[in-house]
Amino acid sequence: MSLLVKICGLSTRETLQTALDAGADMVGFVFFPPSPRHVSLETGRDLGRQVKKRALKVALTVDADDATLDNIMDALSPDIFQLHGQESVARLRDIKQRFGRPVMKAVPVAAAADLAVLPGYAAVADRILFDARAPKDATRPGGLGEPFDWHLLENLDLKLPYMVSGGLHAGNVVEALRVTGAGGVDVSSGVESAPGVKDPEMIKAFIRAARATQELSVR
């Protein structure tokens, strides 16, 4: 199965174009005001039009209510919702039924005990995203640039497709994929020159590095 590469937290036409031209499979847009990567509905609409089915559009939300998701649907028409908050299994089911879109549930990981939630989410979600657990004093759940212990995912028995994120960059993505066996990687702060400021060269380097692992596995 081909590796999925997601560039998240895009907020400008230039960096989105770079991600598309470099071959990103998924492009993520953050609708969460505390994040430095947050985009307005108007910006989301503009960027969404630019994608033109060249990649899957991912809307990242954190414990969003139906009205917020309605507005995002209208503006972006995302291909998938990435739920990055405390959403319950029942909430995932409600979102899928109401909006008719696949959902990817972010699961924060710091210890093996954090994986106990997987059976419940896996019964409803279409994909799992493993991310580093944020510190207790953090103001947002992701995009903090710190990896978790990837060995916690070794020998993971999960029938659902899953991706890895958290502190990834061009220099460590190969190792992350080797250890976790993930079918996809998601990067945000690892391709930034400052919080919320994507760097075109770093985007290209990350995608190049991730694709190199795929080429090696084919050989």
Calpha distance 182→161 (Å, rounded): 8
Find the catalytic residue in 46, 74, 131, 157: 131
Calpha distance 88→86 (Å, rounded): 6
Q: In the chain, which residue ranges form alpha helices assigned H by DSSP?
A: 13-21, 41-51, 66-76, 89-99, 118-122, 173-180, 200-218
Distance of CA 36 to the CA centre of its chain: 16
Nearest CA-CA partner of 188 in 35, 4, 45: 35
Residue 70 designated active-site: no
Calpha distance 38→107 (Å, rounded): 20
Residue 199 designated active-site: no
Residue numbers annotated as active site: 8, 131
